[in-house]
Structure 1
């Protein structure tokens, strides 16, 4: 129910949305059953099946045209169009149908590609990220019986979880058919299942391979160890310099920002993150600042001998992949320079060092002002029954900057159908089904208001 400070929901829109939600739930489960892991070549055909399934759903929702497209070497994307009444704007509704690898099927409570409901949440890989976004858009179009009050282009990408490597080519080739006045990207999250958000900033990403060499070859640790060091120990000492004693990133030159977003209780964050008892939170500042407006560095992996079967030798070379999340206002080029210079200053014992950029995505910030943002806030607040908040997101979505560059006149809205408990990319990913309904209602209200 709306509060005194939030607008009311038109009864006819609420009835229309309520009518389509059961079918949307069924179709979401069907999409979750398709393991569309484009990053894994073994699932390339599954990703094509997923695109075909989305295309079929778009046709059934009344699209005038539906195509499955791909740039050379790229994943299949779905582009569908619903013409709007004369003199109404065109809205692009974006989501992606590819999903992350499971991280180990055996670690899930139940099979990751067999949807399961428990306590109002639907569990399964892609249930939240981002097949919920796909079904939010399709359910909105169904609520209008396939005749939306504005022009709509549905764009469902197939390689977002791989960094959208061919998106630029796809946008260039199909620029005219994808052009829009408003772009709604349903690929972010809300701070709680009953609190809607517009995401206004995202951190950037620089994945960097750091390699340390100490010896020409592996040698006996007893005969030569002591005067001769090993690369793995040198690498560990080097990686330890990336943080100070409080866990804050200790690399000079990286941008650090602040946030006016309300702080999150440590208890809530610990529960959302699954921190073990006694483990401290890293860094300083509010939780929103540490999550979205400060840099973060994590070690994603190390090439080293396994403990089982390790030999008594000095490792001559060792390397690690570090992931640096960059605050809005930074750039991957500047951050790479800062991190490389830091590592060069701190590499121990004269070890040879190589630093190489593996993957990157620029940070991005939106200016949430103007009529479209005002309408979006009203729609979200009405559907959720609480005030819309603006928040930064710690993750990286490189294609948002790509959309902004390609369609500079469009207003970009970043919404989402997830919450902190959704565990995007993690084990036991899930979607709150009540929030799915609120997101569909909000999007339906937004399209209706944009018509006028």
Structure 2
């Protein structure tokens, strides 16, 4: 564990946000090189930096197993979300810092910690008789951007990631200390909406009241995407599905999400219905004048980035079409509107009654004494899952990871529990041993 902490600190230090408009591409390249070196140090062969079609690099390596042993693919990603408001961090986002028994830093849980988890599992096996399976490792460089680079690379090289079982180390336990596999993932689509109404901005005193304001038009469009109670309302997209499985008490959700006192949750149905079984729209960015320095002007143009999460049972391509049609239909005053897709991934559902899940259940029972494996949904998306499921229909796909609620992934002060890192590394090691004996 001390070595793991040092390695995670080195990896977190790379500002590997796969968006060259915000961070230098060299940061991602340096992180990829670090991961490749780590694989070589662990005895991996065929280690390579794969140039994917979206301009990023994925890291690949293989570790041959005993003759006749199954092959397991281990996945994580080294790219991270931007730190957002760095002033909101209690310590530097790219400096791993221990505080109150947790390790804080961007990517500590999502998902640089996932890579360290894989390394720890393999080291544990080597210290106890050896690795009983063949291992392939793939580390993605643009998962957070949803640009599909690794998906398209895998489709063009289908033999590369072929495996009997796949462990995606990018989800998390439902609660710290409660061993959980992720049974479903929502898919996602992301579109950029641009609205134009005038050739240039106009003085709001001279022209306001008759001149069509592009920002006001955009606000109208965005408001149309939610009903009065906050439920997602995209024309033609079903939004009444129910979740059957592990419950998520509202009080627990409010605590996990840090909802302010007196503020209501949005939507209807149970919390699990809303975050695991139904679509959810989020406006994740708007381009408009900031308050500081704003002038009294009618805006000629405005744009927004909209994310739509799509539950299992719905098609992300069709959801994109419906979202685009909704935006156009609800754009007022004949304003010119364009909708551009910038990311997309299909939802995923795992098959839990398989030998691999039996091996995982036994591993979790040992690594978490007194606990049984639970199955939960996850509202986020991992587009690669459906690509792998399509390429390798016989492979069993399992999702575990370090992103339990206290980890606060994608937010300021992201952290990882070192105890969870240790237990899940032991879980993965035991799973690989159990799976080899299946």
Residues 262 and 449 of structure 1, relative CA distance in 2, 3 Å threshold: closer
Give the structure 2 partner of residue 426 of structure 1: 411
Residue 159 of structure 1: how far off its partner (Å): 2.3
Give the structure 2 partner of residue 399 of structure 1: 384
The aligned runs of 1:176-195 (5 Å cut-off) are: 176-195=159-178
The aligned runs of 1:76-87 (5 Å cut-off) are: 76-87=57-68
Please point out which of 173, 185, 206 is paired with 1:223: 206
Residues 207 and 144 of structure 1, relative CA distance in 2, 3 Å threshold: same
Partner of 2:39, secondary structure, is helix
Residues 226 and 81 of structure 1, relative CA distance in 2, 3 Å threshold: closer
Give the structure 2 partner of residue 251 of structure 1: 234
- Relative to structure 2, which stretch is displaced further, 181-190 or 401-410? 401-410
Residue 49 of structure 1: how far off its partner (Å): 2.5
Partner of 2:400, secondary structure, is strand
Contact 1:80 1:154 in 2 (8 A): yes
Q: Which runs of 5+ in 2 are unaligned?
A: none
Give the structure 2 partner of residue 238 of structure 1: 221
Residues 81 and 216 of structure 1, relative CA distance in 2, 3 Å threshold: closer
The aligned runs of 1:365-384 (5 Å cut-off) are: 365-384=349-368
Matched, 1:62 2:46: no
For the residues of structure 1 that align with 2:288 and 2:303, how far apart are their CA atoms?
8
| Aligned-pair Cα RMSD in Å | 2.2
For the residues of structure 2 that align with 1:275 and 1:127, how far apart are their CA atoms?
23
- TM-score, normalising length from structure 2? 0.92
Give the structure 2 partner of residue 296 of structure 1: 280
Contact 1:61 1:145 in 2 (8 A): no
Residues 88 and 100 of structure 1, relative CA distance in 2, 3 Å threshold: same
Give the structure 1 partner of residue 298 of structure 2: 314
Residue 354 of structure 1: how far off its partner (Å): 3.1
Deviations 1:36-61 (A, max 9, x none): 22323743323232223223322332
Partner of 1:392, secondary structure, is strand
For the residues of structure 1 that align with 2:296 and 2:8, how far apart are their CA atoms?
53
Q: Which runs of 5+ in 1 are unaligned?
A: 1-20
The aligned runs of 1:343-382 (5 Å cut-off) are: 343-382=327-366
Contact 2:54 2:148 in 1 (8 A): no
Please point out which of 145, 160, 173 is paired with 1:162: 145
Please point out which of 312, 319, 322 is paired with 1:338: 322
Give the structure 2 partner of residue 27 of structure 1: 7
Contact 1:62 1:145 in 2 (8 A): no
Contact 2:145 2:343 in 1 (8 A): no
Deviations 1:348-369 (A, max 9, x none): 3443433332322222222222
For the residues of structure 2 that align with 1:317 and 1:177, how far apart are their CA atoms?
46
Deviations 1:267-293 (A, max 9, x none): 322222122221110001111111111
For the residues of structure 2 that align with 1:115 and 1:357, how far apart are their CA atoms?
35
Which aligned segments of 4 or more residues in structure 1 are displaced greater than 4 angstroms? Answer: none
Contact 2:224 2:330 in 1 (8 A): yes
Partner of 2:188, secondary structure, is strand
For the residues of structure 2 that align with 1:207 and 1:169, how far apart are their CA atoms?
18
Residue 177 of structure 1: how far off its partner (Å): 4.1
Please point out which of 103, 108, 128 is paired with 2:84: 103
Residues 52 and 374 of structure 1, relative CA distance in 2, 3 Å threshold: same
Give the structure 1 partner of residue 430 of structure 2: 445
Residue 434 of structure 1: how far off its partner (Å): 0.6
Give the structure 1 partner of residue 400 of structure 2: 415
Contact 1:74 1:165 in 2 (8 A): no
Deviations 1:411-440 (A, max 9, x none): 111111220111112111100111111101
For the residues of structure 2 that align with 1:98 and 1:227, how far apart are their CA atoms?
47
Instruction: Tell me the number of residue pairs that the alignment of Structure 1 and Structure 2 aligns.
Output: 432
